[in-house]
Amino acid sequence: GAGVSQSPSNKVTEKGKDVELRCDPISGHTALYWYRQSLGQGLEFLIYFQGNSAPDKSGLPSDRFSAERTGGSVSTLTIQRTQQEDSAVYLCASSSGSSGVRGQFFGPGTRLTVL
Q: Which residues bind other proteins (CB under 8 A)?
A: 31, 33, 35, 41-43, 45, 48, 50, 56, 58, 91, 93, 95, 99-109
Q: Give me the sign of the Cα torsion angle 20, 21, 22, 25.
A: negative
Smallest gap from Cβ 86 to other proteins, in A, equals 19
Smallest gap from Cβ 31 to other proteins, in A, equals 4
For other proteins, the closer CB: 46 or 114: 46
Q: Which is nearest to 77 in space by CA: 1, 11, 3, 2?
A: 11
Q: Could you tell me if 9 and 91 are in contact, meaning their C-beta atoms sit under 8 angstroms apart? A: no
Backbone angles phi, psi at 93, to 5 degrees: -140, 155
For other proteins, the closer CB: 27 or 45: 45
For other proteins, the closer CB: 30 or 80: 30
Smallest gap from Cβ 13 to other proteins, in A, equals 23
Smallest gap from Cβ 98 to other proteins, in A, equals 10
For other proteins, the closer CB: 82 or 94: 94
**Across the chain, where does the E strand assignment appear?**
5-7, 10-13, 19-24, 31-37, 43-50, 65-69, 75-79, 88-95, 105-106, 110-114
